[in-house]
Amino acid sequence: MDLIPTPEQVVAAAGNVAHTLLYGGLADLRPMPRTLIDDGVLREVYHYRPVAGVEETGDPVLLVNPLAAPSLCFDLRRDCSLVEHLVTGGRPTYLVEYGQVSFKDRALGVEHWVDEVLPEAIRAVHEHSGGKGVHLVGWSLGGIFALLVAADRTDLPIASLTVVGSPVDVTKVPLVAPVRPLLNLGQGAGLVTRAYRALGGVPVPIVNWAFTAASAQKVVMKPLAVATHLDDADYLKQMEAVTRFMSSMTAYPGRTFGQLYHRFVKGNALAAGSMEVGDRTIDLSAITVPVLVFAGNTDGIAPLAAVRAVVPLLSGSEQVRFEVVPGGHLGMLTGRAARGTTWEVIDEWVAQWSAGTLPVRTRAARNKPATKAPTRKTAAKKTAAKKTAAKKSPAKKAAPKRAASASAIGSNPSRRYGSSGSRALGQR
């Protein structure tokens, strides 16, 4: 809206204000229809119903929700919903979410999501879709969970993996950097530890406060932004939908938050490529499926450097592609610019790696490279040394292949938006 608005802008602004007062808002906040196909402890798997006149074709996409944030992140509002985009395009679309976390769930740790929730959701989608490979799309912490599962469970029928705004190197998150020295002041059962143990987790009010603090500038500037965009109905709809999203946070289970706090935030474990989950260490280099990584160019929660840190860790992946897209932490996923950027790249990626039906391998096959070698107790020293050497030599031989695939990172000759950061990464 101009400083001195035109007559057309005045009429548009008046119409938007009147519609808001009469109907309570401008945005169409109706969720896309869905059906529950599987559930368990803090696990609900939904299939979004096909749109009338559009036939479902191709491999299914499973949207992986982060903890605390509602699944509205994928279905923010009509005309600006990744779910709606996928469903209207005929893509079989599924979602895993976790329901309401309560005090009784305080003993659940990260392993609950890595060992049970996400693997069971993948299995359910695989069966419901007729045995097809499943393409995971995880946002924020949902992307971290997807990475851990793909590394730990190579027996699962995962066709590809897409992570959106998932910070792997926490030291490169500006919001955390100023307080990192304070994290080590209290050793053992420090103030933070005692607090989340007493509360059984992180309750909704604190989660809301944390998300609000992370976007404090936008919150402060919100009245001015509304006033200067009164004539822009689409902008007002988006702000209305984001406000609803911000007020719909859920809680963190106590033990899960403790693990994330100590290992992920304080220890910055994933920056080195591995993380302890349950009774084993999961190494991201064990991921073999293709991985697409998105970073938002104005994301303050998961800035470019924190997200890009995962790329060199994915040495076992068939292909890694890194993309810089417009928007902040939520905007890159479901902002107005995401329609012609993030969503189109996801479409290209899923189509590229669709392979139809995939057999489910036995879990024993998955354990062979990941866990048996480190825990072997009875092997002779000479045999162990030979096996260690044998494992190292393929890694050296595979290096040229990895370098070749890295040259494709960020490359997309048909891109319709600027992403110089992506192309520059491919040239390094």
Tell me, what's the pLDDT at 175?
A: 65
Confidence of residue 377 (pLDDT cuts 50, 70, 90): very low
Predicted pLDDT at 8: 78
Among 85-94, 236-245, 328-337, name the one with the lowest average pLDDT: 236-245
Model confidence at 190, pLDDT cuts 50, 70, 90, reads low
Name the residue with higher pLDDT: 220 or 2. 2
CB 250 within 8 A of CB 98: yes
Give me the torsion for CA of 343, 349, 353, 354, rounded to 10°: 20
| pLDDT value of residue 9 | 72
Is-contact 40 213, C-beta < 8 A? Answer: no
Average pLDDT over residues 114-135: 96
CATH architecture designation of domain 31-185+251-365+403-427: 3-Layer(aba) Sandwich (3.40)
Q: Which residue has the tokens 């895993």?
A: 96
pLDDT confidence of residue 120: 97
Task: Give the rounded distance of the alpha carbon of 217 from its chain centre.
Answer: 24
Q: What angle do CA 145, 421, 310 make, to 5 degrees?
A: 25
Q: Is the pLDDT of residue 183 over 70?
A: no
Question: What pLDDT score does 23 carry?
Answer: 73
Give SS3 for 134: strand
- Per-residue DSSP letter, 357: B
Q: Check whether 246 has a pLDDT greater than 70.
A: yes
Residue 394's pLDDT band, with cuts at 50, 70 and 90, is very low
Average pLDDT, the chain: 77
What's this model's pTM, rounded to 2 decimal places? 0.74
Residue 28 reports pLDDT greater than 80:
yes
Q: Which two tokens stand for residue 224?
A: 């001015």
Over residues 263-274, the mean pLDDT reads 85
Q: Give me the helices (H) in 40-160, please.
A: 82-88, 110-111, 118-128, 141-152
Is residue 81 within 8 Å of residue 32, measured between CB atoms? yes
pLDDT of residue 380: 40
> What per-residue string of b and e applies to 126-158 under the rule 16 or more CB within 10 Å gives b?
bebbeebbbbbbbbbbbbbbbbbbbbbbbbbbb
Quote the CA–CA distance of 369 and 154 in Å, as a whole number. 10
Burial of 294 (0-12, 13-18, 19+ CB in 10 A): buried
The conformation of residue 247, written as its DSSP 8-state character, comes to T
Give residue 355's pLDDT: 83
Retrieve residue 41's tokens: 């402890």
Cα–Cα nearest to 34, from 1, 72, 2, 79: 72
pLDDT of 418 reads 46
CA distance linking residue 75 with residue 88, whole number of Å: 13
- Give pLDDT, residue 16: 65
Question: What token pair was written down for 428?
Answer: 């390094």
What DSSP state is assigned to residue 338? G
